[in-house]
Structure 1
Amino acid sequence: MNYEFFIAKRIIKAKQYKSSVSATIIKIAIAAIAIGIVMMMVAIATGMGLQKTIQEKVAAFNGHIQISNFDNNDSEVSLMPLDSKQAFYPEFTDVSGIKHIQAVATKAGIIRTEKTFEGVLAKGVGADYNWDAFKDFLKEGRLPDVAGKRENREVLISAYLARRLELKLGDTFKSLFLKENTSEIPNERTFEIVGIYESGFQKFDANVMLVDIRHIQRMNKWNADQVGNFEVFLDDFDMIQDKGDEIYSVIPPNLDTQSVTSKFPFIFEWISLFDVNIFLIIGIIIIVGGINMITALLVLILDRTPMIGILKSLGSSDWSIRKIFLYNAAYLIAIGLFWGNVIGISCIWLQRTFGFLKFPNPEQYHTAIIPTHIEVWHILALNVGTLVLCVLMLLIPSYIITKITPVKAIKFQ
């Protein structure tokens, strides 16, 4: 053990240290670090939680990457059929990191009731459809059974559409779907509401209803092997660009790929701004915490001026004495980090478990409950970064020790 660390340890354990004039200021500095780390952890957890929630909701309706014919021209409606007998379906083995692939088809229509009507986008799904996200969205009833041998008229509709159309669970309604030749009589289908979902994402809730894909195939006069497009889900959303390029390179040349980030750029550009806010908050809080620690360090130095004079008279170098106080300050920062982590992690866990904090305007953030998500490495990086940056900020004020002369310091005692 070097002697600087030994002296710093003795100072920390000394009773006079805990009851000295500087004790109150030191406690304030520790509290500032603790509060700062709590605020930074909450900022990261809520920012990333909101990003992840929005990403998952957009992907639930579209998949991470869509494979379709070039002729569809980015239309929300399936125009040209695509043969489902592809080498990459139903198992996409040529590219790693793919969790699931499913075939879907969409068709625009109108829901008509006795009192009103609403435009709708009927999304046809089959037995391979991944319902995991909609299990979380499900508000009433159950999910449609689309795995039977025959097509059924069960439909999953949003709470938004149900309110607008004054429909409830168990009701039936008629929908009209235009044919390619608009002069012909539209296709009419009767559906029964077996489930009502609410994703909180009004862009999709306002028009998407999920039906058996065989309805779309029959109305479009497709055979059972023809679908509108494929939706691909990845293990890691951050790899969406690379995986999109890989998928494009292995599929037939007549097919195109489109990621959700390129399909809805305005959404992902908006949530990317959360990163800027997070870094800005972290930067401001670290600066404030560093200033508090600078104040505490200066008070410690003034409180221990006689000790500094004695150590200098005994031959200690300025840097050696500065290290004593830097060790002391690092200890105080560590205490603040400890309590900050305990409180911060507890707050994030409570919010994630019970969701007691909610947005006053959920329609703007596409979710009612404030979501949280934080990784272990985020916590470690935040702690290490705060400790290192605060200690570095203390190097300059600790330079005041070099200006203290032994004679004046001992007289000061």
Structure 2
Amino acid sequence: MFRPLALFIGLRYSQAKHKNKFVSFISIASILGISLGVAVLIVGLSTMNGFEKALREQMLAVIPHAELETVHGSFRNLNRSLQQAADYPGVIGASPYISLNGLLQKDNEMKALQIRAVMPESENNVTAVEQYIKGGGWELLEEGQNAIILGKSAAEKLDINVGDSLILILPPASGQHLKAPQQIKLTLAALFEMGGQLDNALGFMHIEDAKQILGMQSANGIALKVEDVLNAQILARDVGYSLSDYLYIKSWITSQGYLYQDIQMVKSLMYVILLLVIAVACFNIVSTLVMAVNEKKGDIAILKTMGASKWMLRGIFIVQGAFNGLIGSLLGALIGIYLALNLTDIIKFIENLIGHKFLSGDIYFIDFLPSQLIYSQVVVVTVIAFVMSVLSTVYPAWRASNVEPAEELGFSH
């Protein structure tokens, strides 16, 4: 009957109490170090995955993937340009818009804001803003009513409620700098709440009202929704080149792409830094095994005199170190999975406990800490940690196989 002796003895050594208590302490420290590194790496990667998912599903759901704006005036033939853009391969939807930058005034309170004048009938083709509007949808923007929909944060800063009136102050048109700013009376039709910085920086009105205010015949922008968001800039350029108007071409990558790049950079740095943490924990395995070899020299000498080969002796200590690595990796993976799956709730509980939010919606595009666990990443991290722990056993195992029985047994007498 085949008996893997190296495995049997290695596991016995792993579970046996050490004469030197310091060896036991270092052994436990190595397991806990690997567990901590694996758990933190899994939680960190899940957080970065969560930010990436929130960026795609929340921010990119409420801002157009790409935009085409005329250099001068408005589109000469808006309907034809819209149709061409919507029919372009890779484009899911298109909708016209007019962008205004101005000041909103309510009594003594003023707020700088970007107002997006949209066509209610087609805006859902490019964004999902309507689902965040409280008490209704785009039908609240009635043509000719000079109605506006504001973010909850902006409305709170202006101390205004739905149904109240406010003043929109627009700068003079280009070439009319000596004229007084234009003042338009608006009515707050509804509020939207997306839970991020857009609540504080964006407002919506009907495109026909904006045309009337600015004296425009047509829209000066077309918003696009595309299939591949990471390819939005290239696709927007191709669509823009296919149209006859002179256009400014931009996408979410030019305005918000730094967020995506930051997420990718932090994710890469986390791999490097936290794998170094695991590597330090693996050095504890080296220390444990070196001390274990010194402690077991007599046992090694006896095994050699009984015919144990060098590879069997190496196998014993590789098994002993790999056992610590396996326990540490699996324990870290279980802790990491639990924390990653419950991270958002845990952070909310801590925020309620201390009365402070870690992420402010005024600064970040979300006001909660997201988490998305990807099990393939858990497997990769766990396997890498285990392999690193096995590799750290090579030197002590090699050292154990070079023990001379005559010297050790002679010394014992």
TM-score band w.r.t. shorter chain:
0.7 to 0.9
What is the distance in 2 between the residues matched to 1:403 and 1:227? 83
- Alignment equivalent of 1:117, drawn from 110, 119, 137: 110
Q: 1:124: Cα distance to partner? A: 1.6
- Alignment equivalent of 2:190, drawn from 169, 185, 194: 194
Name the TM-score, length of structure 1 as normaliser. Answer: 0.78
1:209 aligns with 2:203: yes
Counterpart in the other structure of 2:80: 85
What is the distance in 2 between the residues matched to 1:205 and 1:118? 12
1:160 aligns with 2:153: yes
SS at 1:396 equivalent: helix
Counterpart in the other structure of 1:75: none
What is the distance in 2 between the residues matched to 1:8 and 1:127? 74
What is the distance in 1 between the residues matched to 2:324 and 2:14? 16
Amino acid at match of 2:123: Y
- Alignment equivalent of 2:213, drawn from 219, 222, 243: 219
- Alignment equivalent of 1:278, drawn from 248, 270, 287: 270
Amino acid at match of 1:294: V
Counterpart in the other structure of 1:344: 336
User: Structure 2: 5+ residue runs without aligned partners?
Assistant: 352-356
Could you say if the C-alpha distance between residues 301 and 35 of structure 1 is closer, same or farther in structure 2, counting changes exceeding 3 Å?
A: same
Q: 1:63: Cα distance to partner? A: 2.3
Counterpart in the other structure of 2:223: 231
Q: 1:407: Cα distance to partner? A: 2.6
- 1:135-146 superposed matches below 5 A: 135=131, 141-146=134-139
Deviations 1:27-75 (A, max 9, x none): 3322221111111112222234335545666535542322333x16xxx
Of 236-245 and 113-122, more deviation after overlay is shown by 236-245
Q: 1:167: Cα distance to partner? A: 0.9
Q: 1:123: Cα distance to partner? A: 0.6
SS at 2:184 equivalent: strand
Could you say if the C-alpha distance between residues 142 and 411 of structure 1 is closer, same or farther in structure 2, counting changes exceeding 3 Å?
A: farther
Counterpart in the other structure of 2:9: 11
SS at 1:85 equivalent: helix
What is the distance in 1 between the residues matched to 2:410 and 2:228? 66
Deviations 1:202-251 (A, max 9, x none): xx44431122222223334445xx43323334455444455556656666
1:378 aligns with 2:380: no
Counterpart in the other structure of 2:327: 335
Counterpart in the other structure of 2:41: 40
Counterpart in the other structure of 1:94: 89
Amino acid at match of 2:33: A
SS at 1:68 equivalent: strand
What is the distance in 1 between the residues matched to 2:167 and 2:67? 30
Counterpart in the other structure of 2:354: none
Q: 1:351: Cα distance to partner? A: 1.8
Tell whether the 8 Å contact from 1:144 to 1:211 is kept in structure 2 after alignment: no
Counterpart in the other structure of 1:50: 51
Counterpart in the other structure of 1:28: 29
What is the distance in 1 between the residues matched to 2:320 and 2:13? 15
% same residue = 15
What is the distance in 2 between the residues matched to 1:7 and 1:412? 27
What is the distance in 2 between the residues matched to 1:355 and 1:135? 26
Tell whether the 8 Å contact from 1:297 to 1:325 is kept in structure 2 after alignment: yes
CA RMSD of aligned residues (A): 3.7
Deviations 1:135-169 (A, max 9, x none): 46x6xx33542488856554321233223321124
Of 54-63 and 393-402, more deviation after overlay is shown by 54-63
Deviations 1:351-379 (A, max 9, x none): 23564255546255444322223423322
Tell whether the 8 Å contact from 2:10 to 2:316 is kept in structure 1 after alignment: no
Amino acid at match of 2:336: G
SS at 1:369 equivalent: coil
Amino acid at match of 2:50: G
Q: 1:347: Cα distance to partner? A: 0.9
What is the distance in 2 between the residues matched to 1:341 and 1:56? 27
Amino acid at match of 1:33: I
Tell whether the 8 Å contact from 2:104 to 2:112 is kept in structure 1 after alignment: yes
What is the distance in 2 between the residues matched to 1:171 and 1:265? 36
What is the distance in 2 between the residues matched to 1:206 and 1:212? 19
SS at 2:393 equivalent: helix
What is the distance in 1 between the residues matched to 2:94 and 2:236? 13
